Amino acid sequence: MPFTPLHMGPGLAIKAVMQRRFSLLVFGWSQVVIDLQPLIAMTTGRVELHGFSHTLLGATLIGLLCGLSGKHLADWGLRLLREPRHMPVRWRVAFGSAFIGTYSHVLVDSIMHVDVLPFYPFNLASPLHALISIDALHVVCLATAAAGGLAWYAVDRAIRHKGSEAE
């Protein structure tokens, strides 16, 4: 997938369901970090785009890094956005969101790109490649973004309304 935006669709749907038990900021951070290897490969002309970062082993290591760094980045971002009711991001939320981000990224890219070998170094197959068409994959990502975004907005609005009634 050409970097992060389409990967955020599933994250929005998860956020709508899990609310404070999921950090969309940490999830998004993990999407950016996992795609650094393909970005470097594209800008330096390397043939292998996805490599180790797009394996389950690589996603685990990146998930650890993003959980550690993402908690602090998310807390900082929430302060900037003046969203104190979502702060602080708990450690288990940060790590859970980071791992959901990196593993879902590998899943989506495994379907789309033949060079993603999710089970490397234990298996050199790409068993999920072309499981569904690229167009269908894009539709799933966009549909989860639309449905998740609307659901998240509706739930957030209901929570805010309920909070204002209590005052």
Task: Give the model confidence (pLDDT) of 70-125 as tens digits.
Answer: 999 999 999 998 877 777 999 999 999 999 999 999 999 999 999 999 999 999 99
Helices 8-18 & 134-166 angle (0-180, nearest 10): 30
Let me know: does 33 contact 65? Beta carbons within 8 Å: yes
Question: What is the distance between the alpha carbons of residues 107 and 52, in angstroms, rounded to a whole number?
Answer: 14
What's the average model confidence in pLDDT over 144-155? 92
Q: How confident is the model at residue 48 (pLDDT cuts 50, 70, 90)?
A: confident
Residue-level pLDDT at 161 = 79
Q: Based on the structure, what is the number of domains in the chain? A: 1
Instruction: Give the domain extent around 154.
Output: 5-166
Model confidence at 1, pLDDT cuts 50, 70, 90, reads: very low
Contacts of 5 (CB under 8 A, 6+ apart): none
Q: What is the DSSP letter of 90?
A: P
> 27-41: per-residue pLDDT in tens?
999 999 999 999 999
Q: Which of 79, 82, 64 is nearest to 26 (CA)?
A: 64
Q: pLDDT at position 164, please?
A: 66
Average pLDDT over the chain reads: 91
